């Protein structure tokens, strides 16, 4: 747990740009919320490695969202069921179903489709919100926090040393 929290604060206090961190969290939505061994995740990995996305944020976010997925899965399945059984969308799904490429993506799986849709819907909000939080933290909270006596005391404490060691 310490390890986890330590990494998180290290990330927030580091030099990485808030935009890269936010992008890492946003891409992590797909890896965490959708079934891991899916073809679309190969594309996500391609983007994450090819674009300057903060990998720390990405892997940290993936772990957090994978935990959250246990609670979100029932909702994802409901969304997938709803979409795949929607009569208005039937022709579209049927058309996609004729293609081997699309079926390789398992778009007709309720959990997979639902969780991908939720990830797509949350992608932009996650990007902006996490960017805002990281920026705000660094501008206001981090500076204010460093000025506090207690923070100076903490820096001298064993906990801080441990926290520092984790960041190395």
The distance of closest approach from Cβ of residue 55 to another protein in the complex, given in angstroms and rounded to an integer, is: 8
Nearer to another protein, 99 or 151 (CB): 99
28 in Cβ contact with 58 (< 8 Å)? yes
Burial of 110 from C-beta contacts in 10 A (0-12 / 13-18 / 19+)? middle
**Separation between Cα atoms, residue 146 and residue 152, nearest integer Å:** 7
Name the minimum Å distance from CB 93 to another protein: 6
CB of 137 to another protein, least distance (A): 24
- Cβ-based nearer residue to another protein, 29 or 112: 112
Q: Do 115 and 76 contact (CB within 8 A), yes or no?
A: yes
Tokens of 159: 């906990």
CB atoms within 10 A of CB 92: 11
Quick one: which H or E segment has residue 37?
Answer: none
Q: Report the nearest approach of another protein to the CB of residue 48 (Å).
A: 8
Cβ proximity to another protein: between 5 and 51 the closer is 51
Distance CA 93, CA 2 (A): 46
Return the number of the residue (3 or 99) whose C-beta is nearest another protein: 99
Nearer to another protein, 85 or 151 (CB): 85
Q: How far is the CB of 145 from another protein (least distance, A)?
A: 31
Residues that bind another protein (CB under 8 A): 39, 42, 45-46, 48-53, 73-74, 76-77, 80-81, 84-85, 90, 93-94, 97-101, 103-104, 106, 108-112, 114
What is d(CA 66, CA 33) in angstroms, rounded to the nearest whole number? 6
């Amino acid at each position: 747990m310490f390890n986890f929290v330590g990494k998180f604060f290290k990330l927030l206090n580091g030099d990485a740009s808030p935009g890269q961190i936010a992008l890492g969290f946003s891409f992590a939505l797909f890896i965490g919320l959708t079934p891991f061994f899916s073809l679309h995740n190969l594309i996500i990995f391609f983007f994450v490695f090819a674009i300057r996305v903060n990998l720390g944020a990405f892997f940290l976010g993936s772990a957090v969202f994978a935990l959250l997925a246990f609670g979100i899965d029932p909702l994802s399945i409901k969304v997938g069921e709803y979409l795949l059984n929607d009569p208005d969308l039937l022709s579209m799904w049927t058309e996609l179903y004729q293609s081997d490429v699309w079926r390789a993506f398992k778009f007709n799986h309720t959990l997979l489709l639902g969780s991908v849709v939720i990830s797509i819907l949350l992608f932009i909000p996650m990007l902006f919100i996490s960017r805002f939080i990281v920026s705000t933290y660094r501008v206001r909270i981090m500076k204010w926090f460093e000025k506090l006596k207690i923070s100076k005391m903490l820096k001298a404490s064993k906990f801080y040393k441990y926290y520092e060691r984790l960041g190395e």
